[in-house]
């Protein structure tokens, strides 16, 4: 299993200017496409909060280990989205 950031930060506001959204997209695409391009199972869990917004953690597993990944995701999700990012990192 490989834990990874789900995105480079929290979701942008709905009224964010297009230039800001383009910058976010260019930083997010390399993170978001790894599992899909490699044909690996991936699950994203909202396990933390940053600036009051949910922050996701993505788990990527080896090809064919979908069941194991889902079991781990179920265990990890008990940790819940109530923790701050600093709780998860240190």
Q: How many domains does the chain have?
A: 1
pLDDT of residue 67: 94
pLDDT band at 89 (very low <50, low <70, confident <90, very high): very low
pLDDT at 84 over 70: no
Phi/psi of residue 86, nearest 5 degrees: -65, -30
Share of the chain above pLDDT 90, in %: 18
d(CA 71, CA 73): 5
Q: 59 φ, ψ to 5°?
A: -110, 130
Average predicted confidence (pLDDT) for the chain: 78
Q: Read off φ and ψ for residue 11, nearest 5 degrees.
A: -65, 145
| pTM of the full structure | 0.63
Tens of pLDDT along 18-35? 998 888 888 877 777 788
Domain that holds residue 63: 2-89
Q: What phi and psi values does residue 9 have, to the nearest 5 degrees?
A: 175, -165
């Amino acid at each position: 299993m490989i834990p990874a950031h789900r995105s480079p930060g929290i979701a942008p506001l709905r009224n964010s200017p297009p230039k800001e959204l383009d910058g976010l997209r260019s930083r997010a695409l390399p993170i978001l496409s790894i599992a899909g391009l490699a044909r690996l199972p991936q699950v994203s869990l909202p396990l933390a909060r940053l600036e009051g917004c949910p922050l996701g953690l993505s788990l990527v597993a080896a090809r064919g280990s979908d069941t194991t990944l889902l079991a781990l995701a179920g265990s990890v999700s008990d940790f819940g989205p109530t923790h701050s990012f600093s709780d998860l990192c240190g």
